[in-house]
Structure 1
């Protein structure tokens, strides 16, 4: 999947009072906690996600999988590219880490997605239009920040 070919949906950022290596470990921990539940697996099955279980290398690396997501690229301390697809969407969530001064990291989460057809447009309205996706991503970033600091 070519990430750049997917339309940009949104981007959220936070400053973390920690070095990039600690933030990277925080992302790893939060992904395992957030996506390794039976509830997430059931939701992934309901949507028809290609990836429905937690598997692959740990700590997170290319080939790691979570319900609804797989790691398509990993540059520890710099960038993590998660991709997925289901009946209503093809999507990517890209975490980027940049130095923001001594002992500080700018953590960005960019979402890209395509929502084909009328059902895809309805799904986009339900997930993106309601603000649910943005709230979820902000919670992920906050959890990473708390864990890394």
Structure 2
């Protein structure tokens, strides 16, 4: 992953071991839950370290961005799933886009909903 400015981190503890949490992560994030490379449009797979880390990145006219999920064991049958985001929003259009995506809280809502869905799927 190239160096991008840090945006934020959201996390959720779930009642599942890392293997189950990993499968739930892929079920929620990927088009094909058996293939970490089947990430949604706008992203490409940077790395998949089963069952600990899924790193995605993307770019378009107004930004370059990365989203990394990390799964940490908290104890028997419990996993903390973290979603960390980075992004660069160059130029005037990038500033406007950042204000719309990050500034409105939309990004935060989407990431927290993804974490909720991962917990439910686990």
CA RMSD, Structure 1 to Structure 2 (Å): 1.4
Give the 5 Å matches for 1:49-128: 59-61=34-36, 63-128=37-102
Runs of 4+ in 1 over 6 A off after TM superposition: none
Q: Please tell me whether the aligned partners of residues 27 and 33 of structure 2 are also in contact (alpha carbons under 8 angstroms).
A: no
Show structure 1 runs of 5+ residues with no match.
Answer: 37-56
CA distance in 2, matches of 1:83, 1:101: 30
- After TM superposition, give the deviation of residue 66 of structure 1 in Å: 2.1
CA distance in 2, matches of 1:60, 1:83: 16
CA distance in 1, matches of 2:76, 2:45: 29
CA distance in 1, matches of 2:75, 2:39: 32
Partner secondary structure for residue 100 of structure 1 = strand
CA distance in 2, matches of 1:9, 1:94: 12
Greater helix fraction, Structure 1 or Structure 2: 1
TM-score, normalised relative to structure 2: 0.94
Partner secondary structure for residue 68 of structure 2 = strand
TM-score, normalised relative to structure 1: 0.78
Greater strand fraction, Structure 1 or Structure 2: 2
